[in-house]
Amino acid sequence: MIQKYQKILTSLFFVAVFAFATVVHAQTGLQNPLNSNFSTIPAFIAGALKVLVIVALPIITLFLVVAGFMFVFARGNSSKLEEAKKNFVYVIIGALLILGAWVIATLIGGTVTQLVGN
């Protein structure tokens, strides 16, 4: 019997919370949490990729330096030279992917903006 009343009280609590949230939402309206510069999808994607590039460039530089040190410390050892080459190729591929994504998104965003006319 007590469990039945607990379920009823829990249901009433959730209904009251939902009703209160609806009233509060109706009074304040929706606020855009994003910066007004990122109010469109292409601008948001371009901004997110720009942040990714800003964060990734120092990391790419660090891994390029590490790959250089791997070449120096290989000292002619063929297995270590192959590992250094593989590391260098992976760093270059990663850099091209990140920078290429940013360039492609910027081009697509500019095209969409021109087509829409905003």
42/24 same-domain check: no
Q: What is the mean pLDDT of the chain?
A: 80
Given this model, what pLDDT does residue 91 score? 94
Given this model, what pLDDT does residue 7 score? 73
Q: Is the pLDDT of residue 29 over 80?
A: no
Domain range for 19: 1-31
Mean pLDDT, rounded, for 4-23: 68
pTM for the whole structure = 0.60
User: In which band, very low, low, confident or very high, does the pLDDT at 36 lie, cut at 50, 70 and 90?
Assistant: confident
43/81 same-domain check: yes
14/72 same-domain check: no
Q: What is the pLDDT of residues 57-82, one digit of tens each?
A: 999 999 999 999 999 999 888 999 99
Q: Which two tokens stand for residue 77?
A: 């050892």
User: In which band, very low, low, confident or very high, does the pLDDT at 45 lie, cut at 50, 70 and 90?
Assistant: confident
Q: Is the pLDDT of residue 27 over 60?
A: no
Question: Which residue type occupies 7?
Answer: K
Cα 56 from Cα 100, distance rounded (Å): 13
In sequence order, the 6+-apart residues with CB closer than 8 A to the CB of 13 are none
16/52 same-domain check: no
21/40 same-domain check: no
By three-state DSSP, how is residue 9 classified? helix
Question: Distance of alpha carbon 83 from its chain centroid, rounded?
Answer: 30
- Total number of domains constituting the chain: 2
Largest separation between any pair of C-alpha atoms in the chain? 82
